Amino acid sequence: MTEEIVRGARAAAGPGTAVLGLTPAWGPESAEGWLDSYLSAAAVIDRLRTYHGPPYDAVVMAGFGEHGREGVRELVDVPVVDITEAAAHLACLLGRRYGVVTTLERSCGQIEDSLELAGVGRNCAAVVGTGLGVLDLGDRERTEAAFLTAAEQARDAGAEVLVLGCAGMTGLQTTVAEKLGVPVVDGVGAAVKLAESLVHLGLTTSRAGSFARPVPKRRVWGKP
Amino acid sequence: MTEEIVRGARAAAGPGTAVLGLTPAWGPESAEGWLDSYLSAAAVIDRLRTYHGPPYDAVVMAGFGEHGREGVRELVDVPVVDITEAAAHLACLLGRRYGVVTTLERSCGQIEDSLELAGVGRNCAAVVGTGLGVLDLGDRERTEAAFLTAAEQARDAGAEVLVLGCAGMTGLQTTVAEKLGVPVVDGVGAAVKLAESLVHLGLTTSRAGSFARPVPKRRVWGKP
Amino acid sequence: MTEEIVRGARAAAGPGTAVLGLTPAWGPESAEGWLDSYLSAAAVIDRLRTYHGPPYDAVVMAGFGEHGREGVRELVDVPVVDITEAAAHLACLLGRRYGVVTTLERSCGQIEDSLELAGVGRNCAAVVGTGLGVLDLGDRERTEAAFLTAAEQARDAGAEVLVLGCAGMTGLQTTVAEKLGVPVVDGVGAAVKLAESLVHLGLTTSRAGSFARPVPKRRVWGKP
Amino acid sequence: MTEEIVRGARAAAGPGTAVLGLTPAWGPESAEGWLDSYLSAAAVIDRLRTYHGPPYDAVVMAGFGEHGREGVRELVDVPVVDITEAAAHLACLLGRRYGVVTTLERSCGQIEDSLELAGVGRNCAAVVGTGLGVLDLGDRERTEAAFLTAAEQARDAGAEVLVLGCAGMTGLQTTVAEKLGVPVVDGVGAAVKLAESLVHLGLTTSRAGSFARPVPKRRVWGKP
Amino acid sequence: MTEEIVRGARAAAGPGTAVLGLTPAWGPESAEGWLDSYLSAAAVIDRLRTYHGPPYDAVVMAGFGEHGREGVRELVDVPVVDITEAAAHLACLLGRRYGVVTTLERSCGQIEDSLELAGVGRNCAAVVGTGLGVLDLGDRERTEAAFLTAAEQARDAGAEVLVLGCAGMTGLQTTVAEKLGVPVVDGVGAAVKLAESLVHLGLTTSRAGSFARPVPKRRVWGKP
Amino acid sequence: MTEEIVRGARAAAGPGTAVLGLTPAWGPESAEGWLDSYLSAAAVIDRLRTYHGPPYDAVVMAGFGEHGREGVRELVDVPVVDITEAAAHLACLLGRRYGVVTTLERSCGQIEDSLELAGVGRNCAAVVGTGLGVLDLGDRERTEAAFLTAAEQARDAGAEVLVLGCAGMTGLQTTVAEKLGVPVVDGVGAAVKLAESLVHLGLTTSRAGSFARPVPKRRVWGKP
């Protein structure tokens, strides 16, 4: 899945932008629910903490509705954009209310919380599940059909714009937008553009207050 | 002032982006308060309605806290980004709470309303006035001093990121960010990057619901 | 339509109150959507600005959900009451939740925003469209039928009181209230009574803060 | 105190309106805090339940921030207006934010709750106590001085309009408005005008839902 | 009904806890709607005020959605727990959203208000009526069936946990929880456990601010 | 610190309750900020996942404002109570508004978010930092002094009840409550009582919706 996400990110990236996909060395094979999300958050932070490759200008976090973004903001000195908030930020610019279509119903609450805390929950009309697990998304035809059905529910709730509620749906946006007749935002692409924007403007996370650098102390990353 | 704003926009624009400054043919010479804002909204819409120059890919609206963005979204087929919401969208990515420093105190309420309706009001800690009129902003030294004073109030209210609350402040962001030690977002640059992002991703305003095309009817634009 | 609205206003007015109908000299022939609303706001303000008839004690603004009220509050020294907020203020006194039935679905969002900013959005259970344009309201039978259908939706959402969501519906309140068995508030009548109340109590718009008089400056009202 | 309130009500009433003051036959001698408020609510309802004088067209409830309005709405067939909500409804029309100045600090929370449930809490910037008990209000000079001090706090919190937060302050509005330079709303006068407005428009409490008539059953009003 | 509630309370109480049932000496025979609720609040406060039995360590108020808790907090020096808030506090610990199933539809609004003011309204997905009056609850089979039907509505609105919305439903929780497959919280039991918890921890109502002791004054409790 | 927390928990526990302290096998030595919080959440879940001791009836999570509670709710079949929410639930029963006094200012936002999502944020007047790190809390005198200073800020913001905002403060509640004259809630004790209450009432986390059991899949807990 990381490969597909990287492909989506590269499609969105501007000419001068190189995209490097990082997969955590540990964690769940996919994130569905809070337990997976917290485990994944720690693993993602650990991956970045131990990264020793060429320098990078920004971090895009590709777990839709997943935890971790604030921790990464503390860790790195470059801008950090999470695909959940990124999709919502762009969706707000395209209609008065937006909706999110995601995988399992159990993820809806987590996404709602993520949007709320990111400060973009107000104009979210609905978060709707398709009943598909993250690893079911490989079947594109079935995914598309399930997306269209769930999208109708979001439309009925007032959504004028839709958001792909899982990085694994990347690539679907054009087809479903055409069928639904409304704009569909892919969080991966959105996050890439927002990250590029922040970099271009010379902006990065504030160190004043919440996202100060981590206090130096002993930390053990996984069973010793 | 349009010139200065255009300069700010160009500084933010990517290599392939040409920026064309449009000033309404009528309206107030600057917008301070609701009366000016409504007059300006109508004049801005009229300017775009009667524009017959080369085609454009997106509209950036440069009146901070001013009305009109939804009307322009109805009118044109390309994405529309208002600098008020644009600055807030980026600011949300840089800290847990942001603050806005603007011109006259009377404009604060209008900006709060604009942020709220754009769906990004939740994480705004404060909107603070400097006591300066829009046309006073030419005096850069005085403006900077007034900005720093007002910024402290926003910091005390919890802001970790600041926003320049007037297009006429464009260019100030680097200096004050350095002095304050927090990121400062300029709405003009933010809007340019968001507009470029939407264009690059092939996204534009939803026609489903609120921002359908204007109903054909007789309209008179100013005293006949 | 102005005539019919004036008739509704006169029916509501107290014995000592004279009602004078003013139609803007320019603007859209009816207001449906944000573009119309902003154009209309500027034209309404211009009409009042250039009014040179006998003095008046209060202004009632009869565009349901339309922009402009704050600008008029800046301009004139007498109380200003908008029919949107007026209907909601009275509706709040008559039941725990109220609903609004309006014309086109595209206007619903604008009305929600207007109620929210006026401070009376909390107890609004729903804003529902009838699918009728403003100029279709002449057909009273069709309007009434459409109103009753939409009212049921508002009732299902918890509304215990209904509001006529367009000045062009004035006069309908008694019939539909009887058929629905709930109170129905007409914004025009409500605004007239609230305006009379403010005048009688010697109250007018605060100049402290948001609605200070417009800053003196050059303004051009329509294509020069 | 009832007399003074009646005097205030009569000063606000229109030519055709007769005001009859009713004092409950039991309850607290003044209401300060929740215990008093609930006791008073039951006593007020009992007074109206056992009233056998000439018919009346509306009820004004003169306990600022006190409970009971919904119970009276169930009981009587005429409109019911509480001075708390009434003052707030008119204050919303006069400025973007209003503040309330009341008696003891312990009453502030009760007033905030009352405004919130009435649907008009959004634009309330602050509720501030003067430290005076209800029965201290007889000393007008001291009351005025305390009001002006507390009003400054409300102004600092953003209030552009003020509300007298106790029926016992009726009559003070003109003096303090002049000294403060902002409109000051007296709830008693506001409620009288709103009640007259509802009567004139033929509107009364909805029976659909919350405020249906009380279910017939055995009720004992006070120690048997 | 008091007996049945006492039985429910005893079933929940810990080994060292004695439960004493108190019924007000006056008031409505059951509370349905605001009028009943205010009458009952005064009668309940009077009952406690005139209680001269053995000392007690805490007060549980068993009127679901009924008024009075803040008044009792002013009156007594021991902790006071209302079954409405108690059920909600525990429900919040058991799922992301909870729902309440109550008696008559007219009570739903009152319960929503009570939860909101208690500070636990945010995660309430729905309050649904069964159409049964308080005194109908004696028919357990009918009550259970009505509960299950209403519970489905709450589930559809997102409730993951249910609350028995009337003290008269005490005892039903186990059966319906099993049939519905979700936890069902009985407010009586919840309140007993919360009261025991506060007593055990040595905590009681704050006297600083809202719930100071009642100001000494003349009060008459019922028709003299 | 675990020992001290266990001591606090035992002091609060009822006669039949045994308290077993578990410290994660990995993670940060203390949690201050988001990075620590996410790392800690994963480590706590892993500790419970790999626990093979005697069975337990409930889990108390003792990281104030820390992440993880929803993940543990998915994992185990017994009730899970987090000290953040626990303290707030009890505080809501003791006054109209409560405040939290915590360690470093950087933790305030995290605590606010945690309270909000737990559904008990509404009545929180303020979260205030003392400037002390978690590991500074050993110095009881200094901690107490810092607590009292920060508590005044919370009082000024309207708090009538205070909450110890770190498990490391356990034991401080009695002293500071006496000095401040308001109830002070310790989250550890509160959580123990709430956990006992849920167990006694036979209630546990809902599996319907958000907190369904984790989907079976491959998960790696820490660097392989």
Q: What is the pLDDT of residues C68-83, one digit of tens each?
A: 999 999 999 999 999 9
Q: Tell whether the model's pLDDT for residue E1 goes beyond 80.
A: no
Calpha distance F108→C85 (Å, rounded): 38
Interface contact C42-B41, CB threshold 8 A: yes
Looking at residue A146, what is its pLDDT? 97
Question: What confidence score (pLDDT) does residue B205 get?
Answer: 98
Contact yes or no for A87/A164 (Cβ under 8 A): yes
Residues E177 and E96 in one domain: yes
| Whether residue F78 is found in the same domain as residue F94 | no
Q: Is C101 in the same domain as C181? A: yes
* Interface pTM, i.e. ipTM: 0.97
Q: What's the mean pLDDT when you consider all of chain E?
A: 96
Percent of chain E at pLDDT > 90 equals 95
Work out the average pLDDT over A80-100. 98
Shortest Cα distance, chain A CAs vs residue B84, angstroms: 11
- A63, A167 Cβ separation under 8 angstroms: yes
Question: Which two tokens mark C45?
Answer: 């303000």
E118 pLDDT band, cuts 50/70/90, is very high
| pLDDT band at residue A108 using 50, 70 and 90 as cut-offs | very high
| Partners of residue F59 in chain E, C-beta under 8 Å | none
Does residue D209 fall inside a structural domain?
no
Chain C touches chain F, with at least 3 Cβ pairs below 8 Å, answer no
What's the domain count of chain E?
Answer: 2
Q: Taking CB atoms and an 8 Å cut-off, how many pairs form between chains B and C?
A: 152
Q: For the domain that residue A123 is a member of, what is the CATH number?
A: 3.40.50.12500
pLDDT greater than 90 at residue A21: yes
Q: Taking Cα atoms as reference points, which of E183, E178, E193 lies closest to residue E8?
A: E193
Query: Within this chain, do residues C165 and C194 fall inside the same structural domain, yes or no?
Result: no
Nearest-angstrom CA–CA distance, E36 and D75: 10
Helix, strand or coil, per DSSP, at residue D204: coil
C-alpha distances in angstroms, A28 versus A37, A39, A107, E122? 8, 7, 15, 31
Residue B210, domain member (yes or no): no
The pLDDT value recorded for residue B223 is 86
Q: Which of A117, A196, A197, A211 should we substitute to test contact with B (largest number of B Cβ atoms within 10 Å)? A: A197
Provide the CA A80 distance to its chain's centre, in angstroms: 11
Residues 6+ apart with CB under 8 A from B213: B74, B75, B207
- Helix/strand/coil percentages in chain A, nearest 5: 45, 15, 40
Residues C170 and C93 in one domain: yes
Q: Tell me the sheet residues that pair with B60.
A: B81
Domain presence at residue D102:
yes
Q: Which chain A residue has its CA at the smallest distance from F111's CA?
A: A210
Cα–Cα nearest to C26, from E83, B218, E99? B218
pLDDT at A159: 98
Taking CB atoms and an 8 Å cutoff, what residues of chain B touch A211?
Answer: 95-96, 160
Q: Do F71 and A33 touch (CB under 8 A)?
A: yes
Question: Mean of the pLDDT values across residues E64-72?
Answer: 98
The label of the residue with tokens 């209030």 reads D159
**Residue E127, pLDDT above cutoff 80:** yes
Shared domain check, F62 and F148: no
Whether F20 and F59 map to the same domain: the answer is yes
Chain E neighbors of D119, CB-CB under 8 A: none
Give the Cα separation of A151 and A128 in Å (integer): 8
Is the per-residue pLDDT at B217 higher than 90? Answer: yes
D49 token code pair: 């339940």
Stretches in chain C below the pLDDT threshold 50: none
pLDDT tens track for E147-191: 999 999 999 999 999 999 999 999 999 999 999 999 999 999 999
Kindly state whether residue D115 falls inside one of the protein's structural domains: yes
The tens digit of pLDDT for each residue in F40-72 reads: 999 999 999 999 999 999 999 999 999 999 999
Given a cut of 90, whether residue A196 has pLDDT beyond it is yes
Residue A134 is predicted with a pLDDT of 84
Kind of pairing, strands E80-82 and E98-102? unpaired
**Inter-axis angle of helices E83-92 and E187-201, nearest 10:** 90
Establish if A76 belongs to a structural domain: yes
Contacts of F163 (CB under 8 A, 6+ apart): F87, F88, F91, F98, F99, F100, F101, F184, F185, F187
Nearest CA in chain A to B158: A209
Q: Is the pLDDT of residue D1 over 80?
A: no
User: Is the pLDDT assigned to residue D135 strictly greater than 90?
Assistant: no
Q: Determine how many CB atoms are found less than 10 A away from the CB of residue C53.
A: 7
Does D38 fall in a domain? Answer: yes
Q: What is the mean pLDDT of residues E96-111?
A: 97
pLDDT along chain F (224 residues), means of 10: 91 96 96 97 98 97 97 98 98 98 96 98 98 90 96 97 95 96 98 98 97 97 89
D77-119 tens-digit pLDDT: 999 999 999 999 999 999 999 999 999 999 999 999 999 999 9
Spell out which residues of chain F touch residue A212, defining contact as CB-CB under 8 Å.
33, 106
Q: Quote the pLDDT of residue E50.
A: 97
pLDDT at F134: 84
Is residue A70 located within the same domain as residue A123?
no
**Any domain includes D73:** yes
Do D177 and D91 have their domain in common? Answer: yes
Take residue D197 and report the two structure tokens written for it.
Answer: 């407005």
User: What pLDDT shows up at residue F224?
Assistant: 80
DSSP label at residue F107: G
pLDDT, chain A, mean:
96
pLDDT for res D224: 81
Q: Would you say residue D220 lies in a domain?
A: no
Q: Is 90 exceeded by the pLDDT of residue D194?
A: yes
Same domain, D75 and D124: no
Q: Do B26 and C220 touch (CB under 8 A)?
A: yes
Q: Closest-CA residue in chain B for C108? A: B210
Mean pLDDT of D23-48: 97
**Residue C6: predicted pLDDT:** 96
| Mean local confidence (pLDDT), A162-185 | 96
Residue D86 CB-density burial (10 A; 0-12 exposed, 13-18 middle, 19+ buried): buried
Calculate mean pLDDT across residues B122-139: 94
What is the domain extent for residue D140? 84-186
Residues E178 and E197 grouped into a single domain: no
Do F88 and F67 sit in the same domain of this protein? no
Q: What pLDDT score does C134 carry?
A: 84
Confidence of residue A124 (pLDDT cuts 50, 70, 90): very high
Interface test with D, best of C84, C206, C207, C210 (most D CBs within 10 A): C206
Q: Within an 8 Å CB–CB cutoff, is residue A42 touching chain F?
A: yes
Mean pLDDT of A103-125: 97
The helix/strand count (H/E) of chain B reads as: 8, 8
Sign, CA dihedral C132-C134-C136-C137, equals: positive
Contact A89 B93 (CB under 8 A): yes
Segment B161-192, tens digit of pLDDT: 999 999 999 999 999 999 999 999 999 999 99
Nearest CA to CA, how far is D181 from chain E (Å)?
A: 31
